[in-house]
Amino acid sequence: MLEDWLKSYRPEELFDKHGRLLAELAELAPTGERRMGANPHANGGILLRDLRMPDFQDYAVDVPTPGVRGIGDTHVLGRFLRDVATLNGKQRNFRIFVPDETLSNGLEALFEVTQRQWDAATVANDEFLAPSGRVLDSMLSEHQCEGWLEGYLLTGRHGLFNCYEAFIHIIDSMFNQHAKWLKVTAHLPWRRKIASLNYLLASHVWRQDHNGFTHQDPGFIDHVVNKKAEVVRVYFPPDANCLLSVMDHCLRSRHYVNVVIAGKHPAPQWLSMEAAVKHCTQGISIWQWASNDQEAETDVVMACCGDVPTLETLAAVSILREHLPDLKIRVVNVVNLMKLQPQSEHPHGLSDADFDTIFTKDKPVIFAFHAYPWLIHRLTYRRTNHDNFHVRGYKEEGTISTPFDMTVVNDLDRFHLVMDAIDRLPQTGDKGSYLKQQLKDKLVEHRQYINQYGRDMPEIRDWMWR
């Protein structure tokens, strides 16, 4: 059967007696730029032109003191992206791909200068539809958006994929193939680097005021970090100024997959633009303004990664400093998740010496994380102080609820974080025991209040860093 099948190709008409392809047939193959791999239309790096970029610092949020109220980080970013779209309108080499969620994810400013691209019929109540739109947001199809964006990048343009965090999983296998392609082609000299594949994940797990359990899954980043370190980057900007800095970097980058997780709801703003640039450039740093261990040995490290974990950590620190003022507390914030990996595993990773300088060699670390807690353990298991890491994150709890209750049911709230610290600090003695009991009472009070009023307690809603 095999012989019959192979003979059906009539090899005697294709090869000479030595098994070589006949010269007249070999001459039919295209040469130069006509070859499939060398065709400039399939080698987007040759066609790539830099984006014209506004100065992201012009969009800064004023932060006279840490903790001022913000309008929602993605709403601030939307103005920056609006002007990126405007500056590159004539070049027509920048698009935003969104599965029907531009407005929902806080990027409404885009529609001040462009429309949703739409070539079909319209009706009177349609919004923002035009054949010339630079936003592809007319169908709820994540895999369609991913395919569009990959093709756009591969042919030498720039783009951004904005999606609900929980549903980016729909394109897991497509991301896999693109990341593998980036890894391989980075080592082919005739392949020019292309613009990075940028994901902005909003409507994230910690704010479920109307969606609920189906919209809670921060696990895409677990999937992403499986890929080669030379390709993947994951960022958790804690406020709007950090988000602007991170996104400017991502849009300028080449040949990466950048994943950025950011909130759209009103939230505290922590860093001035100057401080945000420094913090994001380093990727991880001690927030000295929130720490009190500058002149004494640290008792506990309170670490955070993500906007809501940052809020809850700082609220926990304020409780500890008020009720246990003798404690020496260090606050660490992580923007670039890959900083946690060893330098030998990721080009952004911290050296062991730098990691120990930040997290100490032997002090308890209470780590509030945006996603599944085991990812932090996976990234830090080889570090000196890993055994003292206690990580809180999402653990598949919650439904449509108040913002604070989402953190409570997953033990990520400020009260649980304080109790976690007390449990690992025997020197707090009776003061710690009494504070722990007060916080347990607060959790009961919280449950009773939201059941009665359907919103968080005033002391939670109105809390500000002091």
For residue 391, the model assigns a pLDDT of: 98
Residue 374: inside a domain: yes
Verify that 83 and 172 share a domain, yes or no. Answer: yes
Q: What is the rounded CA–CA span in Å between residue 460 and residue 452?
A: 16
Contact in structure between 194 and 45 (CB atoms under 8 Å): yes
> Would you tell me how many other CB atoms lie within 10 Å of the CB of residue 114?
19
| Chain segment 101-158, per-residue pLDDT in tens | 899 999 999 999 998 888 888 888 888 878 888 999 878 899 999 999 999 999 999 9
Tell me: do 225 and 344 sit in the same domain: no
Per-residue pLDDT at 179: 97
- Check which CATH number belongs to the domain holding 144 and give it: 3.40.50.970
Question: Which ranges of 138-272 does DSSP label H, i.e. alpha helix?
Answer: 142-154, 172-185, 220-224, 240-252
pLDDT of 145: 95
DSSP 106-129: T-GGGGGT--EE--S---TT--SE
- Do 208 and 296 have their domain in common? no
Same domain, 254 and 288: no
| 159 and 71 belong to one structural domain | yes
β partners of residue 150: none
pLDDT of res. 200: 97
pLDDT of residue 227: 95
How do beta strands 329-334 and 284-286 pair?
A: antiparallel
Query: What pLDDT was estimated at residue 439?
Result: 98
217 and 179 in one domain? yes
Tokens at residue 411, please? Answer: 């033990």
In a domain, 362, yes or no: yes
Q: What is the pLDDT of residue 197?
A: 98
What per-residue confidence (pLDDT) applies to 35? 86
Do 284 and 379 meet the contact criterion of CB atoms below 8 Å apart?
no
- Residue 117: predicted pLDDT: 86
Please check whether residue 1 lies inside any domain of the structure: no
Provide CB contacts within 8 A for 158, sequence distance 6+: 51, 88, 93, 94, 95, 152, 195, 251
The whole-angstrom separation of Cα 6 and Cα 127 is 58
How far apart, in whole angstroms, are the C-alpha atoms of residue 431 and residue 415? 15
**Rounded to whole angstroms, how far apart are CA atoms 158 and 253?**
10
Question: Which residue range forms the structural domain that includes residue 452?
Answer: 284-461
279 domain residue, yes or no: no
pLDDT of residue 122: 83
Q: Which helix (H) or strand (E) holds 258?
A: strand 257-261
Find all residues with CB under 8 Å of 405, minimum gap 6, and list them. 398, 446, 450, 456
Q: What is the pLDDT of residue 131?
A: 83
Residue 362 and residue 227 share a domain: no
Residue whose structure tokens are 């992206």: 81
Residue 429's CATH number: 3.40.50.920
Residues 311 and 372 in one domain: yes
Total count of domains within the chain: 2
Q: What is the pLDDT of residue 282?
A: 98
- pLDDT, residue 36, reads 82
Q: Which residues of the chain have a pLDDT value below 50?
A: none
Smallest CA-to-CA distance from 252 within 59, 95, 53 is with: 53
Integer Rg of the chain from CA: 26
User: CA 328 → CA 28, 220, 439, distances in Å?
Assistant: 76, 36, 20
In a domain, 19, yes or no: no
Asked if 251 and 307 sit in the same domain, the reply is no
Phi-psi label, residue 401: left if phi above 0, alpha if psi -120 to 50, beta otherwise: beta
Q: Are residues 227 and 135 in the same domain?
A: yes
pLDDT of residue 126: 83
Please tell me whether residues 249 and 106 are part of one structural domain.
Answer: yes
Please report, for residues 45, 313, 390, the alpha-carbon distance to residue 369 in angstroms, rounded to integers and kept in the order given. Answer: 36, 10, 10
C-alpha to C-alpha distances, 57 to 69, 79, 237, 240, 275, nearest whole angstrom: 19, 12, 15, 11, 11
The answer as to whether 32 is a domain residue is: no
